[in-house]
Chain A
């Protein structure tokens, strides 16, 4: 079985996070808001099975 070593090819992503996305990921106020929204979302899903 012939082994071959290939260079890992750099792949161009179809999706990139925008600068705004990255800013919001680290914004305390926005993340506090998202924590509430996602927390309620999790709770809604959990209530389906408990």
Chain B
């Protein structure tokens, strides 16, 4: 009997648990344990609607325990703080101060990100002055602040709104892009848009980069880019933008920035939603002699090293360097998926300002990409339990990126950008011209996207609750 511990129950961890349980069905009496900090799963992509007060946070969540009870998976609500790879056990700490050790034969780390608001002075809703839509409580609080601003606008006030990235190395530009578009359209619907100046503040090297080095798609004889799409859209929406920008600090009235040209700027704001940079959840790795070996297992940000080619400069990084099986090279029974795995480098070009400040998005590996890596890791664990080598792969240089960026959440008259790229990480070894197969890439704005976005919300929540025929939903 094999014991598998999965740390984290987001897209990678939870979907990995479902896939692993299914793969091991009828193949022995194995034990799967999921350890998560929260008792609920959250469908993060819909938090953008929570942040504008158009959806309650509860509509994006479900309780994990009933799902795991149904499937015979153990579930522990707690935080894994230490991993003992030689002794094959993890230490779980509980909110009441207690702790316990859980043994494993195979371990999947899929913790999701630690929201590193501390990276920028004054960033974040707890110790800072800005809002966030990265968690259900944050998105709910953001909605009340936004609606408070709306009531001030209704009384005749004017306001400045800043939305974007809260640090030069932050990622998840897509979420902020969705939020700025939803805020714009909500204000238009309320007849208040002319009372507001909206600014997009981002660390992207070019508009529409989204942390994935942008995208190109064929549109008749034209090569249509995400930069064109974002420029055209912001022009129509009357949204100003400042890109290639690092946020240095934020006080109650102003956001202080530095850009790639080394210019220091200040932007006044009445309401700001800025995405923080991510780092790994704080987990220590301790060897059999009690030594802290975290730096051997993880990269400096705490993300777990897997089967990638690390250490190459951005210019030399190519498709084959991206991880395939998500297996740790030192401890073969440890896998990492979703945001928890250490990428070999960024997807977007990083740069430094003349003052030496690094400005460049970290690579996003959320949503569908996280799910695919979680699935590959889970299937590889199932293979190893049966005495085989890990053969399942989901390299970001061989898998598609599918994204529907909401702009206005309505069935009739809604709007979203439907984006498909193949592969996510440019793979010049395979596709010499663009690093991607442009016949497989798409970028389109329209009402159809809004239908997709809503359909995905319900389809994913259905699938991830392992309801009948869940496996038919990819």
Chain A residues in the interface with B (C-beta under 8 A): 1-6, 8, 10-11, 13-17, 22, 24-26, 28, 30-32, 34-35, 38-39, 41-42, 44-50
Contact = CB atoms under 8 A, between A and B. Distances in A.
A8 B385 CA distance: 59
A45 B440 contact: yes
B232 A13 contact: yes
A3 B228 contact: no
Contact of A45 (B422, B451, B452): B422
B234 interface: yes
B93 interface: no
A48 B399 contact: yes
Contacts of B266: 3-5
B420 A42 contact: yes
- State the majority secondary structure of interface residues on B: mixed
A11 B449 CA distance: 27
Contacts of A4: 263-266
Given A14-B231, A48-B399, A38 B442 contact: yes
A13 B234 CA distance: 9
A24 to B, nearest CB: 7
Given A3-B256, A26-B413, A28-B447, A13 B264 contact: no
Contacts, number: 95
Interface string B388-422: 00000010000110100000000001010010101
B447 A17 contact: no
Interface residues on B, range: 35 or more
Given A6-B265, A25-B415, A14 B228 contact: yes
Contacts of B372: 49
A5 B474 CA distance: 49
Interface in B366-399: 372, 394, 399
A31 B449 CA distance: 9
Contact of A49 (B240, B400, B442): B400
Given A41-B442, A46-B474, A15 B240 contact: no
B45 to A, nearest CB: 15
Nearest 5 A/B pairs, CB to CB: A15-B228, A35-B448, A13-B231, A45-B400, A31-B447
B264 A45 contact: no
Contacts of B440: 41, 44-45
21 contacts: A3-B266, A5-B266, A11-B240, A13-B235, A14-B227, A15-B232, A16-B232, A17-B233, A24-B446, A26-B446, A28-B447, A31-B446, A31-B451, A34-B446, A35-B448, A46-B400, A46-B402, A46-B474, A48-B399, A49-B372, A49-B400
Contacts of A35: 448, 451-452
B199 interface: yes
Contacts of B448: 31-32, 34-35, 38
A28 B420 CA distance: 22
B292 interface: no
A1 B235 CA distance: 34
